[in-house]
Amino acid sequence: MTFTPIVGTLAYLLDRNSDAVLMIRRNARPGDEHFGKVNGLGGKLEADESVVAGLRREPDEEAGVELISFALRGTITWSNFGPKGQDWLAFIFLVDRWKGRPPSANEEGTLEWVPRNRLLEACSTDSSQRTGAELPMWDGDRHFVPLVFDSDPRAFYGTMPYDNQRAKSWTFERL
C-alpha cells in the first residue's frame, strides 16, 4: 500500500532565557480534531510551498512571530493518526530565535509558555516520574518530544502508527 501523507511542520519555540517552550492549547473550537490537546506550532504545507516556507508561515499565523534561527530535529510519519485516521509526514523543528511577541491566544486556542522541564516530565514513559499536572498531549508525543530538546546533533527519523487515537509503536533512527 502506498503511503500518501499530508505533509506538515511542527515547531517548538524555546525561550532560552526562561527555559520555556511556546505551546498552543487547542481549546477554542470543540470540533477541532486536536481539541483539548497541547502541541507545538505548525500545520499542513500549502500547495507549492517548501518545508521551510511552511515552517515560517505557521508560527507567523499562529503566534505572530517571524522565525530567525531554527534547526531540523527530525521527521515523523504517522499512519492512521487522529479521529480521521490520516497519514502524515511531519518535519519537526526547534526554534531558538524569532522576532515578535506572541499574543495570549489565537483562533485555535490559548498560547502558553510551558517550562521545558514540565514538558519533558509530561513526556516521561514512567508515570512515577511525572510530577504536577500532566499536559494533555497526543499519546505519541511523549516518545519524540524529548528528542527535540536533547543534545544529540543528529536528526531523528521516526515512524509511529496509530490505532484508535493511540500510538501502537514508535521506532526511530538517527543518522
Is residue 7 a contact partner of residue 78, using CB atoms and an 8 Å limit?
A: no
Q: What's residue 128's pLDDT? A: 57
Write out pLDDT tens, residues 25-79.
Answer: 999 988 888 888 999 999 999 999 999 999 999 999 999 999 999 999 999 999 9
Which sign does the torsion angle of CA 75, 78, 82, 83 carry? positive
List helix spans (H) across 13-126: 51-63, 116-122
Asked whether the predicted pLDDT for residue 135 surpasses 70, the reply is yes
- Would 174 be classed as within a structural domain? no
Asked whether the predicted pLDDT for residue 93 surpasses 80, the reply is yes
Q: What is the pTM of this model?
A: 0.93
Strands 20-25 and 38-39: antiparallel
Q: Coil, strand or helix: which one is 115? A: strand
CATH number of 125's domain: 3.90.79.10
Average pLDDT along the chain: 93
- Would 173 be classed as within a structural domain? no
- Would 102 be classed as within a structural domain? yes
Asked whether the predicted pLDDT for residue 98 surpasses 70, the reply is yes
CA distance 51 to 29: 27
Q: How confident is the model at residue 139 (pLDDT cuts 50, 70, 90)?
A: confident
Q: How confident is the model at residue 133 (pLDDT cuts 50, 70, 90)?
A: low
- Would 170 be classed as within a structural domain? no
Percent of the chain having pLDDT more than 70? 95
- Would 171 be classed as within a structural domain? no
CA distance readout (Å), 53 to 23, 43, 67: 20, 12, 11
- Would 172 be classed as within a structural domain? no
- Would 157 be classed as within a structural domain? yes
Q: What's residue 126's pLDDT? A: 64
List helix spans (H) across the chain: 51-63, 116-122, 141-149
Percent of the chain having pLDDT more than 90? 78
Structural domain boundaries enclosing 26: 6-165
- Would 107 be classed as within a structural domain? yes
> What is the total count of domains within the chain?
1
Write out pLDDT tens, residues 102-120.
Answer: 999 999 999 999 999 999 9
